[in-house]
Structure 1
Amino acid sequence: MKLVILSTFISFIIIFIIGPYFIPFLQRLKFGQSIREEGPQSHMVKSGTPTMGGLMILFAIILTSLLFITNRTELFVALIATIGFGIIGFIDDFIKIILKRNLGLKAYQKLLLQFAIAIFIAVYAANHQNIGTVLAVPFTNMLLDMNFLYIPFTIIFIVGFVNAVNLTDGLDGLASGASFFSAVFFVIASLYNGYYELALFAGSLVGACLGFLRYNIYPAKVFMGDTGSLALGGALISLAVLTRMELFFFIVGGLFLVEAASVIIQVSYFKISKGKRIFRMTPIHHHYELKGWHEKKVVRVFWLIAFLLAIIGYIALIINI
C-alpha cells in the first residue's frame, strides 16, 4: 500500500512540476484548441487554449511505472495499451493542430489502429495463465468463462470504452475527474485481487489525473486533447482486462457508457426520424449546458455520478470476495 501511495505521489508531482513549463511551451508552439462553431457558444472563449496536455499525463504514467516495474508482463501490457492509444490520439491532434485538418484522422484510420491494439491485448489476456477467458461477475463470487466469445467481446469492449472516454472529454476537468474515480477503484480492486504491480500502475494513473486537474479544472489552462483522453481510456481498459474486471467497468465506467450511448441514440434517432433530435446536443454533457446549467455545475454533477458508480463498484467487489 505504501508503494501505491508513493507511485500516486510521484506521478502527481511530475505533472505539478512540469505543468508551469510545458503549458507555455505548448503556447509558444501555437498548439491551440479550435472550437467547433456548432458547439455551445459559451465555449468560444476557450479558442486558443493550449491542447495536447495529455502528453504530461503520458509522461507521468510512463516514468512512474518504469520506476516500479519488475519482470511482470502485465504492467508492460498496460503501458503498451496506454502509450499505443495515446499515440493514436497524438497523431489525431497533430493532424488537426499542425496540419490544420479539422477532423484529424479519418474514422476508419482511427478504428483500424484501435482495433489493432485491442486485438493484441485480447489475445494476450486470453492466453495468459493468470487471466484466461474468465471474467469476474459483480455482486457474486462467480467467474464467467467466455470461452471462444472472450476475444471478440474484449476487442469490442476495449474499442468501445476507449472511445467513450474520448467522448467524455468535452468540459474542463470532466474526463480527468471521472477517470480519477475509476482509477481509484482499480487501485483497490488490484490490491484486493493480488495484482500489486497493476495497483502501482493504477496509482500512477490516479496521481496523473489529480496533477492534470490542477491545470485542467475550470477555467482550464490546458486541454488534454485526444492524446490524453485516448491514453486515459487505454489505461483504464487495460486495468479492467488484466484484472478480469471488464464486467465491473460497465458499472464503474458507467458515466463513460452513458456519454457514448447518448451519441449513438442521438445519431440513430436523427436518421430514423429524418432530422429530429432527442437531446439538444451530444455527448450528453452538452445537453445540460444548453439547458442552462453552468459548465462547473455539469462537471460537478457528473463527477458525483462517477464517484457513486465507483462506490457501487467497490460494493460489488466486496460481495464478490
Structure 2
Amino acid sequence: MIPFLQRRRIGQSIRDVGPQTHLSKAGTPTMGGLIFIIAGLAASVVFMPRNAEGYLTLFLALAFGSIGFADDYLKVVLKRSLGLKARQKLLGQFTAAFLFYLALRWMNVQHTLAVPWLGSVSLGWLYPVFVAVFLVGTTNAVNLSDGVDGLAGGLAVITLLAQALIGWFAGLPGVVYVAVAVAGGVLGYLVYNLHPARIIMGDTGSLALGGAIGAMAVLTKTELLFLFFMGIVFVLETASVIIQVLYFRLTGRRVFLMAPIHHHFELKGWSEWKVCRRFWLVQAIGAAAAVAIWLSA
C-alpha cells in the first residue's frame, strides 16, 4: 500500500506551527488507517459469530473512519489544506453517535452509568447526551494523540486488548472479536509507523480507532474506567489542549511549550521513541488497573 500511496503522491502535509523536527515528515504516505480498518473488518466478518455488539462497534468505527477519510481526501488528494470544517466533522460525528444510541435503545441497553464498587447510576434522559458526548470526545482524543510516530497506534492496541479482556469476562464475544481483530491490524501497521514512520494513519485511522474504542467502552459499561484509567493518556492529551487554550485566552501565556502534551515533551528534548515508550507505559498501567478494578467491582 505504501508504494501505491507514494505513486499517487498521497502524502502528509506538515504545518509549520508544530515541532521543527516534524518538517521532515512532509510527503510521508498517509491514510494508512485503511490498512487496519480493512484488516480488522475482514477478520471480524470472517471469524465473528453474528453478534449485535460486534456489528455495532464496526458500524461506529466505519462511520467515524469515513468522516476521517473524507477529511484526508480533501487535504491530501484534492489539496484543500484544512480539509473538512470543524462543524462539518462534529455534525457527522454526532449524527453517527445518535444512530449508535438508537441501536442501543433497540438492544434495550440500560440508561445507566457503571460506577465501580458503587453499582449503577441511572442517567435517564441524559443518557443519550452522555453517550454522544463521550463517543465524540473519545474519537477526537485519539485523533489528538496521533502526533508522534507510533503513539496513537500503540495506545490504541493497549486499550483494545484491555477491552477484549473485559469483553471476555462480561460475555460479550462481539467486543472480544472486534477488539482483537483491530488490535492485530494495528500491530501490523505499527511495523511501518514506528519512528521514522513510513506511513501515517491519518484521520481515517485515528477517528476509526476512536469510534471502535468508544463503542466498546459504552457496550461494556466502562466509560468511567476509560476516562480515569484505561484511556488515561488520551484524556491527558485532550486536557492539555483545553488547559492550554483556556489559560492562553485568560492570561496570554502558555502552560505547556506546545499542546497536545506529547509535543511539550518533544520540545523538552525527548525523542519520539522516548515519548512513545513513556506514554505507552502510563497507558498500560492504567489499562491493567482498569481490568483489575472491573474484575473486583
Is the shorter-chain TM-score for this pair beyond 0.5, marking a shared fold? yes
Shift of 1:123: 2.8
Shift of 1:135: 2.8
Paired with 2:218 and 2:202, the residues of 1 have a C-alpha distance of: 24
Alignment of 1:231-310 (within 5 A): 231-250=208-227, 251-273=229-251, 275-310=252-287
Equivalent position amino acid for 1:112 in 2: L
Shift of 1:165: 0.3
Shift of 1:145: 2.1
Aligned to 1:39: 18
Q: Determine whether 1:49 maps to 2:28.
A: yes
Paired with 1:228 and 1:310, the residues of 2 have a C-alpha distance of: 21
Q: Deviations over 1:81-132 (max 9, x none)?
A: 0100000000000111112122110000000000001111123224423x22
Q: Deviations over 1:204-249 (max 9, x none)?
A: 1221121111111111110000000000001101111112221221
Kept in 1, the 8 Å contact 2:37–2:182? The answer is no
Paired with 1:54 and 1:236, the residues of 2 have a C-alpha distance of: 15
Paired with 1:276 and 1:126, the residues of 2 have a C-alpha distance of: 46
Kept in 2, the 8 Å contact 1:61–1:208? The answer is yes
SS at match of 2:113: strand
Aligned to 2:170: 193
Q: Determine whether 1:109 maps to 2:88.
A: yes
Alignment of 1:200-211 (within 5 A): 200-211=177-188
Aligned to 1:24: 3
Q: Determine whether 1:75 maps to 2:54.
A: yes
Paired with 1:249 and 1:280, the residues of 2 have a C-alpha distance of: 27
Paired with 1:141 and 1:185, the residues of 2 have a C-alpha distance of: 22
Kept in 2, the 8 Å contact 1:125–1:241? The answer is no
Paired with 2:272 and 2:15, the residues of 1 have a C-alpha distance of: 17
Q: How many residues align?
A: 296
RMSD: 1.2
Equivalent position amino acid for 1:259 in 2: E
Q: Deviations over 1:169-193 (max 9, x none)?
A: 0000000000010001001000000
Shift of 1:136: 2.5
Paired with 1:134 and 1:126, the residues of 2 have a C-alpha distance of: 12
Aligned residue among 125, 132, 156 for 1:148: 125
Equivalent position amino acid for 1:65 in 2: S
Instruction: Give 5+ residue unaligned stretches, structure 1.
Output: 1-21
Q: Among the aligned pairs, what percent are the same residue?
A: 46
Paired with 2:122 and 2:105, the residues of 1 have a C-alpha distance of: 11
Kept in 1, the 8 Å contact 2:52–2:174? The answer is no
**TM-score, length-scaled by structure 1:** 0.90
Paired with 1:218 and 1:235, the residues of 2 have a C-alpha distance of: 25
Aligned to 1:15: none
SS at match of 1:293: coil
Paired with 2:187 and 2:279, the residues of 1 have a C-alpha distance of: 16
Paired with 1:105 and 1:284, the residues of 2 have a C-alpha distance of: 24
Paired with 2:121 and 2:287, the residues of 1 have a C-alpha distance of: 22
Paired with 2:264 and 2:250, the residues of 1 have a C-alpha distance of: 20
Equivalent position amino acid for 1:169 in 2: D
Equivalent position amino acid for 1:151 in 2: P
Instruction: Give 5+ residue unaligned stretches, structure 2.
Output: none
Shift of 1:70: 3.4
Paired with 1:73 and 1:184, the residues of 2 have a C-alpha distance of: 20
SS at match of 1:309: helix
SS at match of 1:181: helix
Shift of 1:141: 6.2
User: 4+ runs of 1 displaced by more than 3 Å?
Assistant: none
Paired with 2:296 and 2:49, the residues of 1 have a C-alpha distance of: 31
Paired with 1:69 and 1:293, the residues of 2 have a C-alpha distance of: 41
SS at match of 2:83: coil
Aligned to 1:179: 156
Shift of 1:276: 1.3
**TM-score, length-scaled by structure 2:** 0.97
Equivalent position amino acid for 1:40 in 2: P
Paired with 2:186 and 2:283, the residues of 1 have a C-alpha distance of: 14
